[in-house]
Amino acid sequence: MDDDQLLRYSRHILLDDIGVEGQQRLLDAHALVIGAGGLGSPAALFLGTAGVGRITLVDHDRVDVTNLQRQIAHSLARVDQPKAESAAAGIAAINPEPRVRAITERADAALLDTLVPQADVVLDCTDNFPTRHLVNAACVKHGRPLVSGAALGFDAQLSVYDSRERRFPCYACLFPADQPPEEQRCAVMGVFAPLVGIIGSMQAAEALKLLTGMGSALPGRLLMLDARRMEWTDLQVARDPRCPCCGDR
């Protein structure tokens, strides 16, 4: 690290659990963020401000004025721009150091099979069940830790699925692909603006802990938040040995 970096990241370096070594790990790390909307906005911004050296953002959508209520990486000036490119600009406005790659494509199996093995950690910030399963399957296949968040209305959930250890469940253990929930979208159901900020920021926190070597305490746990009451439910979750995604590991 040079003197400018030592100054910029000094508040991280002062933390015993991070220090110079942990901050250097962030500078050398590569995070893959799938989705640059409500969850991806705070997640990507905090990864960038924290100094993650490489960030890949994947989102096929464009910024709409209705997004601005909660998707804080975007601005009125960037309405109609691709969300991945807008979020990359948001990161650069705060910290120009990270090498940010914006991919304006849908995250399908072929793209994920290329991108996931290049990353040190994957953040699922998407809003639909099929894509979450594609991301999970790629993380299981390539042995990458997955930080998964979801938010709708006043309810949200967060977990880390770490397929590097056989004892931990994957996303499909909890939410089988053959049992899809009724599709609910923010455009129909609505979403409380700060809720995606809470969960997206926590996704960034878990990713940073994994990248610095601190590790995450969330594998095997599912956190659920009722923002009306600000009540957290902490569920212990187990790996399903019959899971078609990770059961044959």
- Token readout for 121 is 């950690």
Phi then psi for residue 161, to 5 deg, are -110, 105
From 125, 173, 186, 246, active-site residue: 186
Say whether 186 is catalytic: yes
Asked if 234 contacts 166 with a C-beta cutoff of 8 angstroms, the reply is: no
d(CA 96, CA 200): 21
The H or E element containing residue 148 is strand 146-152
The strand order across the sheet containing 155-161 reads 99-103, 54-58, 30-34, 121-124, 146-152, 155-161, 221-226, 231-236
3-state secondary structure of 55: strand
d(CA 189, CA 17): 40
3-state secondary structure of 171: helix
Task: End-to-end CA distance of the chain: give it in Å, rounded.
Answer: 39
Active site positions, annotated: 186
